[in-house]
Structure 1
Amino acid sequence: MDIRFDWTFDRFCEYVVDCGLEHVELKMEYVHGHPDAPDPETVAERSDAYDVTVTYHAPFRDWNVGSFNEDSRRASVEQVNSTLEAAATAGAGAVVVHGGSVPYRYPEYVRERARDAARRSLAECARYAAEVDVPLCLENQPQSDSNERHTTSPDDLAAMLESVDVDDALGVTLDVGHARVNGFDWRTFADRFADRIHVVHLHDNDGVEDRHEPLVEYESICESVDAPYNVFEMKRVPDIERCLERNQLPSE
């Protein structure tokens, strides 16, 4: 559920089930922005009623776990931990998190401080994830012309995981669209991180821009990775049906 969706949680669950699907990922931007967004207790109740599983996506706008401003970094950790708490209450299976960023134009000593901030933040969040017993899953990010993002390649993602590993409390979200736009085959990530992948984000692009377009050839990816949760990460609700090669929205 993206912030661009104006649907209620119940309506979206009905839609998902009508499409023959059985999972919903809640982006915290949607939770923060929608006037009728459900609290975690409601998510638990309604997801059980619709027989769908749930994951959460920690905020990724307006915050940065890799901030070199210590106050901002701590606030970002609090945002992730708050998402973990919501996920635990809702009975969610995982929380997706981004690995932070810093502008390329800043001096190298600032960028290194930002990398260290990201490592410290993710380690703190991973420890809390272990406490509340919800997997925290670090996502491979798309590259940016303006910002250094810390998990865009398999090597960078592996280095971040190794540097913050807390008894394997930090898992992986494989985003196949981000892999493609960065010039990597999704199999490179799948082979390298294997059992650490808890969530797969499914979308497509032209290899140039991170468009989050429908991905029709998704079944082989899901079968190969065999992650607990697979998510069509679309910008528009009808694009979910385009992934499924359907043409009509369900009746109201």
Structure 2
Amino acid sequence: MKHLEKRKDCHKNPRIALSSTCLGNTDIKSLCEYAEVNNIRSIELSANIPFISDKELVKTLETYTDRINFYIHNYFPAPKDSFVLNLAHPATHERSLKHCLKAVDLCSSLGIAVYSIHAGMAINPSADDLGKSLSRYAPIDLKESRDLLTTACHEIAGYALGKGVRILIENNVINEGNCPENVNRHYHFADPAESEKLFTLFSNPNIGVLLDAGHLKVNATNLNFKPHNFINLFREKINAIHLSDNDGRYDQNLPIDEQSWFWQYLPWEQLEYVSLEIKECSSHLIKKQIGLIEKQLCGYKAVTV
């Protein structure tokens, strides 16, 4: 069981980052300006930011790197022609791999320490269907899909190691209705049974875990397992967290509060950063949410008893 134990060294707490998704469809310059005005020192750049040329992107980010800590997540920087980034399906494997290697190059050029990737799935949905029911898509063999994912992640991690970048893999989400009979046949790194088959992947020293607390709550409800059991399987590898809440059925990216389930279970003391990832919201709510995270974390660490 976990509880929170007081500690005095608040400076060792993880950085608190704002996911760009909190601001909806915003351009990179406006996002950085918003962060400066609101005294936000860390930003996780995600898929909501529209395409921008490589030259303009680097120019903009370099303007702010001395004042803002950037983290790059999955589909960022968005390509000119959109696609579903999925390393675990042959239809998207090669394009996804090229995107990830390019993202690693961007991290390296800007001195960004980590790049995080979605774990992928054995189906090939359209971008328009993401977040909706995907049960109509026929999967490829789950082992074949897992092998594609594992091979790609090892390649990315090896490439990133030479660039001074660490790779994090994010746990998947299975919304209600996407797992008929409550059995996972499509998604990697979502439930304990399937995720245990990725232990060899996470034995790679340059691969860690980005744990999405909202995803885990949904999966635990829909697949009937205890979320802290999943955490304990990968505890030593967890380097970053996505924070949001939901009803346990769907990944809604709702605000968190003091009663949110995850506070006592997560290894806060070993994290690089915590990213607030709630849907488009006001500046007032963002400040309240960041303040809540600071209050909950400062002076505490998770311990096992």
Unmatched 5+ residue regions in structure 2?
1-19, 77-82, 124-134, 180-184, 293-305
- Corresponding residue for residue 187 of structure 2: 149
Distance 1:116 1:242 in 2: 43
Contact 1:214–1:242 under 8 Å retained in 2: no
Task: Tell me, yes or no, if structure 1 residue 235 matches structure 2 residue 279.
Answer: yes
- Corresponding residue for residue 60 of structure 2: 42
Higher alpha-carbon Rg: 2
**TM-score, normalised with respect to structure 1:** 0.79
Distance 1:203 1:3 in 2: 11
* Secondary structure, counterpart of 2:208 in structure 1: strand
User: Structure 1 residues 194 and 90 mapped into 2: Cα distance closer, same or farther (>3 Å)?
Assistant: same
Task: Tell me, yes or no, if structure 1 residue 210 matches structure 2 residue 264.
Answer: no
Unmatched 5+ residue regions in structure 1?
247-252
* Secondary structure, counterpart of 1:96 in structure 2: strand
Task: Tell me, yes or no, if structure 1 residue 92 matches structure 2 residue 115.
Answer: no
13-22 or 234-243: which moved more?
13-22
- Corresponding residue for residue 41 of structure 2: 22
177-186 or 86-95: which moved more?
177-186
Task: Tell me, yes or no, if structure 1 residue 115 matches structure 2 residue 146.
Answer: yes
* Secondary structure, counterpart of 1:95 in structure 2: strand
Distance 1:62 1:151 in 2: 18
- Between 1 and 2, higher relative CO (CA 8 Å, sep ≥ 6) is seen in 2
Q: Any residues of structure 2 matched to 1:1-252 within 5 Å, and which?
A: 1-2=20-21, 5-16=24-35, 19=38, 21-30=40-49, 32=51, 39-48=57-66, 51-59=67-75, 62-69=84-91, 72-103=92-123, 106=138, 110-144=141-175, 145=178, 148-163=186-201, 165-166=203-204, 168-183=205-220, 187-217=228-258, 220=263, 224-226=267-269, 227-238=271-282, 239-244=285-290
Aligned length: 239
**TM-score, normalised with respect to structure 2:** 0.67
Shift of 1:236: 0.6
Deviation track 1:181-220 (CA, whole Å, cap 9, x = no partner) reads 1116554444332342221101000111100011133794
RMSD: 3.3
Q: Larger % of helix: which?
A: 1
Distance 2:61 2:46 in 1: 13
Shift of 1:232: 0.5
Aligned identity (percent) is 22
Distance 2:195 2:86 in 1: 17
